[in-house]
Every structure is written in structure tokens, then in C-alpha cells.
């Protein structure tokens, strides 16, 4: 299997993984856990790296859910000029793909630690899966969402008709295993996004579920998201030591 690292773009089209009730039932078996809230970004990042470095072909996949203290994260190839006015919010240079984003209260982050070889997935398929999981999650709440060509993540129509970003993603692949993941804006102070060019795009609008008219507990959103993301972990378990086609 050819593994492409640091991919921060979406490609490929995958069907809604939980489009049928039996998919929901199957997803419930995958392991996920909540980290302390608020979670320190650097501590979680180092823990993800250690988990990935130490895992073996028999290590079970995991999904870590959290809500971070305010932080800007700059991807491995991220350009510092996209950090415009960070103020008192720390900026962490990390090893995921993509440019700069913001994490903070009111946003649920899911870190998906999965063996892609065992799941039989190429990286581009996996990225598309992450986006589809979020699109399906938002549909659960009656929110229509989509991709935006050339701009990774998940978007919803804004009040002005332009697309606004509601979820960001970035991953790292090491020895065929992923870490980092996807962040969904639930009910946030969006002002910190004004201090950056989100994901490297100037004047990119951002939004959250609350501004889409959905008032919901962050933990509930996290649980629903984990059930959707668990599909890829269940796939990995079902395939055992299978690898992606050459």
C-alpha cells in the first residue's frame, strides 16, 4: 500500500457510512474515550505520537474526543504569514497536514488513531471518509453540508449565500497509521478565527452549529461523531491484516 503522509486535502467520494440503521448498530462497538476538558493541545499531540509509535499490528484502533483550551495550530508545511494577529493565544507548530486553524471551547475534536493498512484504505479515501462522517453528522441535525473544491474540510451555506467552514481536518500518517483528525464547531466564540487565515484562505468565513440554528450539547455531538468515525475502525477489525489493493 502506498501511504502518502501529511495529506490535508479531500479526494474521492464515499457514501454516507451510516446511511442505514445497521451501520449505526455496527459502529457502537468501536473504542472511543473523552480526554479531560479542556485538553492541553501539546500534551494530547505528544500522546497521539507516542500511541502511534508504540502500536503494533495487533493494537486496537482508538478515537479520542476532546475540547481544547484556546490554541492556534500550524501544520507541518504551514506558512507563518497565515497567522495574522494571535494576541494571547499560543501558536503551536505541529506535524499534521494543512495550514493554520484554531481550537477552543465549544468545538469538539476527534482524533482518529487507525491502521489504514488493516482497514484497506488509501489516504485519500480516508480523508474523504472523515469529511463524509461530518457531513452525515450535520445531516442528523438537519444541516445541509458539503465539500468545497480545493479547500479541505466541511462547509455550510452562510447567510450571504457564501460557504462558511464548520469543520476542519488534518492528519498525519506514520507507518500506515493515522493520528490527528477532525474538528467540528458546535457553539464557539468565532472571533479567534479573525486572527488567522483559516486553513490558509484569507477572509474564509467560519460558522458553527449554533449559528445554523442547532443548540446542542457538545458531548452529544462528540458521541454522534465518534459513532460515525467508528465505522472505519470496525472495518479495520473486520479485515484483520488485510492491506489496500496495489
Which DSSP letter does residue 194 get? Answer: G
User: Which candidate, 19, 18, 35, places its Cα nearest to that of 219?
Assistant: 35
Q: Tell me the pLDDT of the chain averaged across its residues.
A: 85
Cβ contact 102:72 at 8 Å: yes
199 has catalytic annotation: yes
Quick one: how many helices (H) and strands (E) in the chain? 5, 10
Instruction: Report which secondary-structure segment, H or E, holds 72.
Output: strand 71-74
pLDDT tens digit string along 42-59?
999 999 999 999 999 999
CATH 3.30.930.10 describes domain 21-239: yes
Out of 177, 199, 212, 233, pick the active-site residue.
Answer: 199
pLDDT tens digit string along 157-207?
987 889 999 999 999 999 999 999 999 999 999 999 999 999 898 889 999
List for the chain the helix, strand, coil content (%; round to 5): 30, 25, 40
pLDDT tens digit string along 218-228?
999 999 999 99
Domain-wise residue ranges, the chain: 21-239
pLDDT category of residue 236 using cuts at 50, 70 and 90: low
Instruction: Report which secondary-structure segment, H or E, holds 74.
Output: strand 71-74
Amino acid at each position: 500500500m502506498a501511504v502518502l503522509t501529511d495529506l490535508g486535502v479531500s479526494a474521492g467520494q464515499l457514501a454516507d457510512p451510516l446511511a442505514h440503521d445497521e451501520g449505526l448498530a455496527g459502529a457502537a462497538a468501536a473504542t472511543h474515550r473523552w480526554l479531560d476538558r479542556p485538553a492541553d493541545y501539546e500534551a494530547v499531540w505528544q500522546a497521539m505520537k507516542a500511541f502511534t509509535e508504540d502500536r503494533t499490528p495487533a493494537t486496537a484502533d482508538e478515537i479520542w474526543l476532546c475540547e481544547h483550551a484556546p490554541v492556534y495550530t500550524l501544520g507541518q508545511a504551514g506558512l507563518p504569514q497565515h497567522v495574522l494577529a494571535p494576541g494571547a493565544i499560543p501558536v503551536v507548530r505541529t506535524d499534521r497536514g494543512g495550514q493554520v486553524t484554531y481550537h477552543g471551547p465549544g468545538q469538539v475534536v476527534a482524533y482518529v488513531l487507525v491502521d489504514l493498512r488493516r482497514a484497506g484504505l488509501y489516504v485519500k479515501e480516508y480523508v474523504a471518509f472523515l469529511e463524509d462522517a461530518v457531513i452525515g453528522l450535520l445531516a442528523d441535525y438537519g444541516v445541509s453540508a458539503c465539500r468545497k473544491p480545493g479547500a479541505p474540510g466541511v462547509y455550510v451555506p452562510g447567510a450571504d449565500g457564501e460557504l462558511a467552514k464548520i469543520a476542519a481536518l488534518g492528519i498525519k500518517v506514520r507507518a500506515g497509521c493515522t493520528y490527528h483528525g477532525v474538528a467540528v464547531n458546535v457553539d464557539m466564540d468565532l472571533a479567534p478565527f479573525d486572527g488567522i487565515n483559516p486553513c490558509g484562505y484569507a477572509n474564509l468565513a467560519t460558522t458553527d452549529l449554533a449559528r445554523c440554528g442547532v443548540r446542542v450539547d457538545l458531548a452529544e455531538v462528540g458521541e454522534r461523531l465518534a459513532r460515525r468515525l467508528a465505522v472505519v475502525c470496525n472495518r479495520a477489525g473486520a479485515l484483520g491484516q488485510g492491506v489496500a489493493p496495489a
